[in-house]
């Protein structure tokens, strides 16, 4: 009987440790550019950058009355705020910039890596 209990306890312990391990791994990758495949290779503006902006930015910054007079939503306007440094400053929460996206948490490291790569590779319209 006691041997049975020990085996049961040991199994429970192992299962606990394993699930902890997997939880941590998921947390780690959810907010890390490690394991971020979206930023590998050439980053496409239309396929990778625009979907992020659509989810997090265009609600407020695209259209005729953009918040803070920061126009986004077209290639030319998105490139303009990348060129003047405001795009990266705001999403990286750098000092001297209003942190974006407003009213919600910072982008994930993976999303940031995608935008950073697009900027550093010359903001192609690809
Ligand atoms: C809920 C609305 C909202 C969302 C979503 C939002 N913004 Fe903004 N954004 C604003 C407002 C309002 C301002 C003006 C803030 C101020 O001047 O205090 C602003 C200002 C800015 C500025 C100027 C910052 C500066 O320091 O001059 C940039 C650049 C910017 N937003 C980019 C973005 C980007 C990129 C995203 C998506 C990641 C985003 N915003 C998402 C409302 C929003």
- Ligand 1 neighbour 102 (Cβ under 6 A): yes
Q: How far is the CA of 15 from the centre of ligand 1 (A)?
A: 45
**Model confidence over 92-112: pLDDT tens digits?**
999 999 999 999 999 999 999
Atom of ligand 1 nearest to the CA of 68: 14
**Model confidence over 3-59: pLDDT tens digits?**
655 554 554 555 554 554 444 444 444 445 778 999 999 999 999 999 999 999 999
Question: Model-level pTM greater than 0.85?
Answer: no
Contacts of 107 (CB under 8 A, 6+ apart): 52, 56, 91, 101, 115
For the chain, the domains span 1-30, 36-120
Q: How far is the CA of 98 from the centre of ligand 1 (A)?
A: 7
Q: Of the residues 83, 86, 88, 90, which should be mutated to test ligand 1's pocket, given the most ligand atoms within 8 Å of the CB?
A: 90
77's tokens: 């306007």
Between residues 3 and 86, the one the model is more confident about: 86
The model's confidence at residue 89, banded by pLDDT at 50, 70 and 90, is very high
Tell me if 75 sits within 8 A of 82, measured CB to CB: no
pLDDT of residue 14: 57
- Ligand 1 neighbour 55 (Cβ under 6 A): no
Segment 50-78 shows an average pLDDT of 98
């Amino acid at each position: 009987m006691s041997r049975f209990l020990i085996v049961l306890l040991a199994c429970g312990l192992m299962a606990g440790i394993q699930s902890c391990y997997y939880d941590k791994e998921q947390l780690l990758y959810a907010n890390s550019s490690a394991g971020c495949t979206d930023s590998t290779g050439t980053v496409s503006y239309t396929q990778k950058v625009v979907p992020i902006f659509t989810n997090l930015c265009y609600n407020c910054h695209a259209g005729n009355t953009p918040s803070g007079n920061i126009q986004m939503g077209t290639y030319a306007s998105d490139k303009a705020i990348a060129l003047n440094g405001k795009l990266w400053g705001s999403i990286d929460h750098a000092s001297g910039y209003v942190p974006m996206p407003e009213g919600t948490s910072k982008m994930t490291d993976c999303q940031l890596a995608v935008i950073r790569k697009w900027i550093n590779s010359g903001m192609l319209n690809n």
